Amino acid sequence: MIIRSVEVRRQSIPLHQPFKTALRTVTHAESILIFIHTDDGRVGFGEAPATIVITGDSLDSIQSAIVHTFTPILIGKSVLAYEQILHAIHYSMINSSSAKAAVDMAIYDLISQHCGLPLYQFLGGYRDQLETDYTVSVNAPKEMGEDAIRYVKAGFNVLKVKVGKGNVAEDLLRIKEIRSCVGAEVKIRIDANQGWQVKEAIHSIRRMEDMGLNIELVEQPVKASDIEGLKMVTDAVETPIMADESVFSPAQAFEVLKRRAADLINIKLMKAGGIYKAQIINHMAEECGVECMVGSMIESRIAVTAAAHLAAAKKNITRYDFDAPLLLRNDIIEGGVRYVGRVMTFPATPGLGITNAAIGEKVGIEL
């Protein structure tokens, strides 16, 4: 399995409605697609979205990293030496975690194809289906309540609610409205996307506890770099606190785990640089008794399929945030993970299970 060529394309897919968080508003899913071709006719698929405000990666920087830095490393290498390849990719340049993730998932796609196993079985095979939550974008309380009702009627029983935009009092109104609309049985997760100050976070979470809003967890309440503040929030409230933007690398995960700064960790391939490093983060967390969630940016079904394979493979990954493909107006991908409401299942075909080798032509350009 010698790598013979690397193909790179762009895609831009409109969303059904704007996706709003404390950090950004997104109307299109824009990403770089990568196709790694081997001498035996196999193709490995990968994807990296542009999420400048979180990862610092733009379409141009992702494309440049893949074409100018990673491709020379890949050409002529045997995929069977994938540990060697992925180590070289990760240490060839700093940052560019999204570009690294795209290459990483394509390599894992190829090696699991070679082994004749779906990727989740190659990685551990702990479960063969998942249930995703659904995200409620940050808007006025009444609109968020209406959105929540619609998602619950569509079969979703876990809602991830975006807050942190505006003032804390309005965030409390948002959560109160959603809880009154969906009832007591639906799980509510809150994601502040770094939108609160430490004291605001402690005050608002305690208020939600006193109001009996029954919040499952609060994700990244404070700035990513404020590990001490994150720990202060975690220690001050009963509701579990999840680190997201605070944890990109295994080294950052080690710091959070060592200081017990969070109760949970959200792993994303675009932060970790792919499955190779994401597994290290999960293993470290598991040894410390800390469960993980795996989520995604605004990605199409290529990247989400790779992340879902990882999530299905590991016992310690207990929560799943994979609704991104459901937010898109168009889905031109053949194969990969399948959705029936909130339930996600995997094809029995080896690798990622993606079969459309011409992907991206309808919505992007070949570079």
| Cα torsion angle, 194, 198, 267, 342, sign | negative
**How far is residue 110's CA from residue 80's CA, in Å, rounded to a whole number?**
9
**How far is residue 243's CA from residue 283's CA, in Å, rounded to a whole number?**
16
**Tokens representing residue 17 in the block:** 């409605």
Contacts for 324 with CB less than 8 Å, ≥ 6 apart? 29, 296, 297, 298, 299, 300, 304
Active-site residues: which are they? Answer: 162, 268
DSSP letters for 244-312: STT-SSHHHHHHHHHHT--SEEEEEHHHHTSHHHHHHHHHHHHHTT--EEEE-SS--HHHHHHHHHHHH
The β-bridge partners of 36 are 6, 44
**How far is residue 274's CA from residue 106's CA, in Å, rounded to a whole number?**
10
- Environment class of 16 (CB within 10 Å of its CB; exposed 0-12, middle 13-18, buried 19+): exposed
**How far is residue 33's CA from residue 49's CA, in Å, rounded to a whole number?**
9
Backbone Cα Rg of the chain: 20
